[in-house]
A and B are shown apart, each in its own frame.
Chain A
């Protein structure tokens, strides 16, 4: 009898937590993989009892899916143009907030890329250079701009292979099928990649800034957790994580990004 009564008493409590626990699903560009995983872990610790799920993929793909009503509450794009479009189409519940500036690096799993520059890509020993597909991947677009700005596009173009995302371009290099790749700085901080070779930071004056932005989607209008997470992105610990993974932060002097030896 006692047990039953305490169970009955506990019922409203259970309900209370169930009401407060909320859930958000985030669509994030694949270059965010490592940084976002860490941010979400931190966020969950500070807001226990809530559910935060993240799907990683190509920004263009997410953009299309959200237009078609995919159940994402926040969209972290690798290109600020996609969320801006969503706002224009009335599919967003917030302004676009810039959260990072992406940088590109020359990376190799077999050579010491920290001693290379883009010019080395013309070396006949290098037969394959992996970049993300410039047609729709923002990092690929910046890679193409950097090659064109250096006057190397014509020589390097025949060696290029295209990954569908920046992560696939990195895979081509990691498996040794391409000797060199131009990939996101945020990816080479992953031990899986950084243990294999150094990288060379491509000067940012060679390409347009890769401004990345996020929005809360229409579906999450009134979702308090989505709002909390969006605010959390501007916090100090998050900024520290973003910097750690090689992102420059909007409105901050770009500081200590350097090329790295293996």
Chain B
């Protein structure tokens, strides 16, 4: 076997994390992107900036604030404790919350671009045919922006897989719960286990390349079609 059991466990955990985060962001990010694409509100700028923050913030900033916010005295920590969920750091769901914030722009921005590209016309037509806004969204906007949805989901998934700084700061490195592949590689390197580090790192490298290659090969075709 090329990869050890603990490496496979880390990969499995990473895939689970990335899938759940992508699903949550699909539900959460779509209305945000829709609103950002169509609104004339003066809040468009501030909300757009908040969504884009993880693109420019170092993971250490996000990790540090999340560790405080999810702790017993933090806002999130108080909420989770009063709900009987305990504290989020060192748990899988803590990583999910962190990754949702961290990967938000990778879902919202491609979707927003796709929604903006539709323009007003198709939706106005739908409205004259007496489609409700919700109906128009699902029967007109969604089919027209499918390539955008696909790009957004792939980028969100891949970006969550590649996450390192935040999970290192709030994860606690627990096998099966918070030790994702990127942390596992770091662990191998720190323990001077270069051979294991190499194998897992190479797997990540190939995965990332294939994902991006797929996106770049497929994007131009989608535009022509």
Contact = CB atoms under 8 A, between A and B. Distances in A.
A60 B188 CA distance: 11
Contact of B173 (A63, A64, A161, A171): A161
Interface string A47-67: 000000000001011011000
Contacts of B190: 58, 60-61, 133, 135-136, 164
B89 A172 contact: yes
A60 B186 CA distance: 11
A61 B190 CA distance: 6
B170 to A, nearest CB: 8
Interface string A233-259: 000000000000000000000000000
B209 to A, nearest CB: 24
A64 B191 CA distance: 10
A161 B174 contact: yes
Interface in B142-178: 168-169, 172-174
B90 interface: yes
B67 A177 contact: yes
Contacts of B86: 127
A61 B186 CA distance: 10
B73 interface: yes
Interface string B58-92: 00000000011011110001000000001101100
A136 B187 contact: yes
Interface residues of B, number: 22
The B contact surface, by secondary structure, is loop
B90 A161 contact: yes
A207 to B, nearest CB: 19
A175 B172 contact: no
Contacts of A172: 67, 89-90, 172
Interface string A168-184: 10011001111000000
A84 to B, nearest CB: 14
B189 interface: yes
A64 B71 contact: no
B187 A177 contact: no
Contacts of A130: 172
Given A135-B187, A135-B191, A161-B90, A176 B172 contact: no
Contacts of A229: none
Nearest to A61: B190
Nearest to B67: A175
A178 B90 CA distance: 9
A60 B192 contact: yes
A163 interface: yes
B187 A171 contact: no
Best-buried of A63, A128, A130, A161 by chain B (most CB within 10 Å): A161
A128 B173 CA distance: 13
A175 B189 contact: no
B187 A133 contact: yes
Nearest to B68: A175
Given A128-B90, A163-B172, A171-B67, A176 B73 contact: yes
A162 B192 contact: no
Contact of B186 (A127, A164, A168): A164
Top 10 A-B pairs, shortest CB-CB distance: A161-B172, A162-B173, A176-B72, A136-B191, A136-B190, A177-B89, A175-B71, A176-B71, A161-B90, A60-B190
7 contacts: A63-B192, A64-B192, A135-B191, A161-B89, A164-B173, A176-B72, A176-B77
Interface of A: 58, 60-61, 63-64, 127-128, 130, 133, 135-136, 161-164, 168, 171-172, 175-178
Given A164-B173, A172-B67, A176-B71, 16 more contacts: A58-B190, A60-B191, A133-B173, A133-B187, A135-B191, A136-B187, A161-B89, A162-B173, A163-B172, A164-B186, A171-B67, A172-B89, A175-B71, A176-B77, A177-B87, A177-B89
Interface of B: 67-68, 70-73, 77, 86-87, 89-90, 168-169, 172-174, 186-187, 189-192
